[in-house]
Each structure stands twice: as structure tokens, then as C-alpha cells.
Copies of this chain bind each other. A is one copy, B any other.
Amino acid sequence: MEEKIIQTRHIYKGRVVKLDIHEVLLPDNKHSKRELVNHPGAVAIVALDNDNQVLMVRQYRLGARQTMLEVPAGTLDAGEDPAHCATRELQEETGFKPGKLQSLGGIYTAPGYTTEYIHLFFATDLIPAKLDTDDDEFLEVTRVPFAKVIDMIEKGELEDGKSISALLRVARQLGK
């Protein structure tokens, strides 16, 4: 079933998105074109405090043309270990470090046209630390009871893919 890349045309290289058009050889030896975003990868973290509340962030997302509720997340630096990135991003966005950090595997967000893979983590035993938001990020941190955030997913009030995957994984693990 594999598709072999025959030729690649670089279209654009930006800060987050790098777009390439690949000419591929299909299993039936025909050729086709695949538009592919080359993404450095990312992490997303379900951070649960001792009162069973989830640390969530609200931010405006141009892709959705709205302010969205999401779990803390961020892009991997070149060569960065995903667990290190998760610890760094959680602190930058919420001002807490994970005392305990468990890997939940990961997700390809849209493997038909982007290489992006998001490593999912479950952070507990949270430790207060210094808040350190990026210059062009406008975030609002909010705590939502775990049962409430799951209810929001079921009602369609939380529509961020990585957050849904991570939170429902944690819900199963906690038997909730």
C-alpha cells in the first residue's frame, strides 16, 4: 500500500508550517500529488490538580475563528524530548510543573496532509512555578472540574481534537 516519494517541490517554509508538494508513486505504479505540511510535532497535557480540576487554557484560534477551550499544549523545539517539552509548556502556560508525568501515547492530527504528531501526557501532583507566556500568545488559564470538562465534550462544547483525545483517554484510565 506504500506510496513512494519521487519528487518534492518546496512551496513555503514559515515559522510553524512548511509546505511541500510530493509527487508519489502509487501501489498501481501511477503517479499522484500529495500536498503535505511538514510540522515539527507538539505536546498536549491533561493537568489534574488535587481537587480533581483540570487546568485548561482559553485562547483565540484563527483556524476556528473563535476563542477555544483546550488543554495546555505547544510545539516541540528541534530535537527536544517530548516529556521535557510537556513540562516546559505546562509551566509556560499555567505556571505549574508536573510532579508526576505519564505518557498517553500520541495522535496524528490529520495524517492525510500534515506530519504533525502530538504527544499526549497526563500530569498530576502539580507544583507551583513561574508563569512564562510567549510574547504573542494571549492565554487565560481556567480550572474546570473533571466531570464538567467531560460533560462539555459530550455536549459538543469542547471541540479541540487533541484535548478530546487526551481527556477521554484519562477518563477511561480513571474509570470516570
Contacts and interface: CB of A to CB of B under 8 A. Distances in A.
Interface of A: 1-3, 5, 11-12, 14-17, 19, 21-22, 24, 26-28, 30, 32-37, 39, 58-65, 67-68, 105-118, 136, 138, 140, 150, 153-154, 156, 159-162, 164-165, 168-169, 171-172
Contacts of A111: 61-64, 68, 160
Contact of A17 (B59, B65, B113, B153): B113
A24 B136 CA distance: 11
B156 A161 contact: no
Copies in the complex: 2
A68 B2 CA distance: 11
From DSSP, what is the main secondary structure of chain A's interface residues? mixed
B114 A156 contact: no
A172 B167 CA distance: 12
A12 B11 CA distance: 7
5 contacts: A27-B138, A36-B63, A64-B117, A68-B111, A106-B156
